């Protein structure tokens, strides 16, 4: 009997102690649930078909005495203040009762989203319990939008999102990107904590904005305790912190309330790559046989099913097996129905008068037997509609011998023709650059730095690769790892290569080297057949010296004039033997041209290939490359 009295007294004292953690009286009647919180759950119910219990609690609802809630909240390992009061109790019992099915759903979704949140929070040193904010903000719905325009998991307004480097435009809204929006939200929370130094005030400010919290502090006479500010806060914000505490409780003690995580299947292993060309989801879907809805689910940041990679590089997220297929079929994906699915990408920038692109140069093309508008358009990187507009054609029929005007940007023409030839005039040396003008020029020299990443518990290969902006294969290669096992505490070597600009002036040897430029039609055919392998920006390439051998300078210059230079990007599964066979050269030549010490071809590596001029072959094609001879060899200009 004596023990029972002591135990009852301790429980009573514990309850009083917990209630004393806040100032001000909070009653059941003062509990205000934010309207957006209710709306988010209603949308969740209708979208997922989740059943709720509206007429009281079901038979399986399990509730506890206040003392149990107090003890459990007190036991959670967190630096955040998790008080218990009637407002918190009301929200806990709402989660455990009427909303237990939604809790089940969010526990299932959380298996996918919570690790993303935890990784960013841990990196910035913030409490991991903040991962439950999106439970309140969006019900873990990545594409939800509020009545006032707040969007995504973290419910950013457009202006706030842009302040934290989220891109918002007609095609892309990174507020819907789970990873990038989390990075922005964590930065915002960190800034709010630097201002208030109190996590309850931070959570309140996240809901209503720091301006309203500042007003509440002013009206309260300078109080900085959340519970002292409670009566002065906006009505909806008063319930926000109690809901957060209740969400933290139920996400940790769901089993005690007979709640089981719902099965919400997500791909076990995801990975990403940077897409640098504009591509439509339908192109990816049809070529790789992936449902468009799945691509949307993995990439909700793209509003119109278009990744505008021509503007800048964007991240594409796919299951790792689909990502491998994407890399293997990249050319086929970009070329598949591009005129049909991406028509507006080609006609932008047309002059109002005559439809010619501003600053473009004119090419005159004579129609040959067997030509079609689509083939000619593909050769010159334009659309059939543009050619028809430029030449006043009403149909797709072409007459043999007809001359067609084709407009191309002058800068693009020069880049396509000169990029490969310029590459041959550079040197692999860190300090030497050959220039046909003898003038000072800027050279990009690769500089590699090494850092180390310490593996944490819960890390995945995909997460580590994304965090360090590298591929899984590269990280394994740098660390000589073959298995997929990750051991917490292991340090992984990470290499990063940056290009440093160096100004150099080099005197040319006499006589000067000259480069004869091939005609525009032939160049277009080369580009069309080697579009994947040609590198248009020489600053991103290793610099290669092409020097005379054994004093026979004239013979070397003649050979260079009769040589075409391309760059081949190594694809998955390719070997040096296969590449050499494709271009009818030897492995030793490729190793010599690229100054390689090993005959192993690395995926993504760009290899310099020197091809014999078409005149040497004496035929209408060049080996098995499919580059056909068309037109006369009229130089655009005689020297660089």
SS3 for 138-207 is CCCCCCCECCCCCECCCCECHHHHHHCCCCECCCEEHHHCHHHHHHHHHHHHHHHHHHHCCHHHHHHHHH
Question: Rounded to 5 degrees, what are φ and ψ at 409?
Answer: -60, 135
Top-level class of domain 346-413: alpha beta
Of 4-18, 383-397, 416-430, which has the strongest mean pLDDT?
383-397
Give the whole-number percent of the chain exceeding pLDDT 90: 33
Arithmetic mean of pLDDT, 381-385: 78
Amino acid 445: pLDDT: 57
Examine domains 346-413 and 511-640 and report if their fold is the same.
yes
Q: Which CATH architecture has domain 511-640?
A: Roll (3.10)
Domain extent listing, the chain:
19-257, 270-342, 346-413, 441-504, 511-640
21-30, 217-226, 445-454: lowest mean pLDDT where?
Answer: 21-30
Arithmetic mean of pLDDT, 525-544: 45
Amino acid 344: pLDDT: 60
How do strand 441-454 and strand 306-308 relate by DSSP bridges?
Answer: unpaired
26 confidence band (pLDDT: 50, 70, 90)? low
Amino acid 380: pLDDT: 78
Neighbouring CB atoms inside 10 A of 96's CB total 24
Q: Which CATH architecture has domain 19-257?
A: Orthogonal Bundle (1.10)
The residues pairing with 443 across neighbouring beta strands, listed in sequence order, are 502
Neighbouring CB atoms inside 10 A of 578's CB total 12
Question: Residue 51 carries which DSSP code?
Answer: -
* pLDDT at residue 109 is higher than 80: yes
Q: Which of 93, 137, 174, 330 is catalytic?
A: 137
Which fold does the domain 441-504 belong to in CATH?
Membrane-bound Lytic Murein Transglycosylase D; Chain A (3.10.350)
- Please tell me whether residue 580 adopts helix, strand or coil conformation: helix
**Tokens describing residue 452:** 């180390």
Amino acid 558: pLDDT: 53
Give the tens place of pLDDT for each residue, 149-195: 999 999 999 989 999 999 998 899 999 999 999 999 999 999 999 99
Question: Rounded to 5 degrees, what are φ and ψ at 293?
Answer: -60, -35
Higher pLDDT, 519 or 436: 519
Residues 6+ apart with CB under 8 A from 200: 80, 81, 226, 227, 241
Give the tens place of pLDDT for each residue, 545-599: 444 444 444 554 455 555 667 778 888 778 888 888 888 888 888 888 888 887 7
Of 70-74, 425-429, 525-529, which has the strongest mean pLDDT?
70-74
Known catalytic membership, residue 501: no
Amino acid 559: pLDDT: 52
């Amino acid at each position: 009997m004596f023990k029972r009295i002591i135990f009852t007294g301790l429980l009573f004292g514990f309850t009083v102690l917990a209630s004393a953690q806040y100032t001000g009286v909070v009653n059941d009647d003062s509990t205000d649930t934010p309207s957006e919180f209710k709306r988010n759950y209603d949308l969740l119910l209708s979208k997922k078909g989740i059943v709720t219990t509206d007429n009281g609690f079901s038979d399986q609802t399990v509730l506890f005495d206040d003392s149990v809630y107090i003890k459990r909240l007190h036991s959670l390992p967190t630096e955040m203040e998790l008080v218990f009061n009637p407002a918190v109790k009301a929200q806990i019992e709402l989660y455990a009762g009427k909303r237990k099915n939604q809790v089940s759903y969010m526990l299932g979704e959380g298996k996918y989203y919570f690790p993303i949140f935890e990784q960013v929070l841990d990196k910035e040193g913030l409490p991991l319990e903040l991962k439950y904010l999106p439970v309140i903000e969006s019900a873990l719905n990545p594409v939800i939008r509020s009545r006032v325009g707040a969007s995504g998991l973290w419910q950013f307004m457009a202006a706030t999102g842009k302040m934290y480097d989220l891109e918002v435009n007609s095609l892309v809204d990174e507020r819907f990107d789970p990873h990038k929006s989390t990075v922005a939200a964590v930065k915002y929370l960190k800034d709010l904590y630097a201002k208030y130094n109190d996590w309850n005030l931070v959570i309140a400010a996240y809901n209503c904005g720091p301006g309203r919290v500042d007003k509440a502090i002013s009206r309260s006479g300078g109080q900085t305790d959340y519970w002292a500010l409670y009566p002065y806060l906006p009505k909806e914000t008063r319930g926000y912190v109690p809901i957060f505490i209740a969400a933290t409780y139920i996400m940790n003690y769901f089993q005690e309330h007979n709640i089981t995580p719902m099965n919400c299947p997500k791909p076990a292993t995801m990975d990403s790559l940077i897409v640098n060309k504009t591509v439509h989801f339908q192109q990816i879907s049809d070529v790789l046989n992936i449902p468009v809805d799945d691509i949307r689910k993995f990439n909700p940041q793209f509003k119109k099913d278009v990744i505008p990679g021509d503007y800048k590089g964007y991240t594409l997220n796919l299951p790792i097996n689909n990502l491998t297929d994407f890399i293997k079929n990249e050319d086929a994906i970009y070329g598949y129905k591009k005129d049909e699915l991406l028509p507006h990408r080609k006609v932008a920038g047309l002059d109002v008068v005559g439809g010619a692109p501003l600053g473009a140069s004119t090419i005159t093309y004579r129609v040959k037997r067997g030509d079609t508008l689509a083939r000619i358009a593909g050769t010159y990187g334009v659309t059939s509609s543009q050619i028809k507009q430029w030449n006043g054609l009403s149909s797709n029929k072409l007459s043999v011998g007809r001359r067609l005007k084709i407009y191309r940007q002058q800068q693009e023409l020069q880049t396509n023709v000169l990029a490969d030839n310029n590459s041959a005039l550079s040197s692999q040396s860190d300090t030497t650059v050959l220039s046909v003008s003898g003038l000072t020029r800027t050279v990009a020299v690769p500089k590699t730095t090494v850092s180390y990443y310490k593996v944490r518990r819960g890390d995945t290969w995909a997460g580590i690769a994304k965090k360090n902006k590298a591929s899984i294969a590269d990280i394994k290669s740098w660390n000589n790892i073959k298995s997929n096992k990750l051991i917490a505490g292991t340090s992984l070597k990470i290499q990063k290569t940056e290009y440093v600009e160096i100004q150099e002036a080099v005197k040319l040897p006499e006589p000067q080297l000259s480069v004869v430029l091939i005609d525009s039609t032939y160049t277009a055919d080369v580009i069309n057949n080697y579009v994947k392998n040609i590198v248009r920006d020489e600053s991103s390439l290793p610099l290669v010296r092409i020097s005379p051998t054994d004093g026979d300078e004239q013979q070397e210059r003649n050979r260079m004039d009769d040589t075409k230079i391309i760059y081949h990007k190594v694809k998955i599964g390719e070997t040096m033997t296969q590449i050499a066979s494709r271009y009818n050269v030897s492995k030793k030549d490729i190793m010599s041209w690229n100054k390689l010490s090993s005959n192993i071809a690395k995926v993504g590596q760009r290899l310099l290939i020197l091809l014999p001029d078409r005149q040497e072959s004496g035929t209408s094609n060049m080996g098995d490359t499919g580059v056909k001879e068309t037109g006369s060899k009229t130089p655009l200009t005689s020297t660089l």
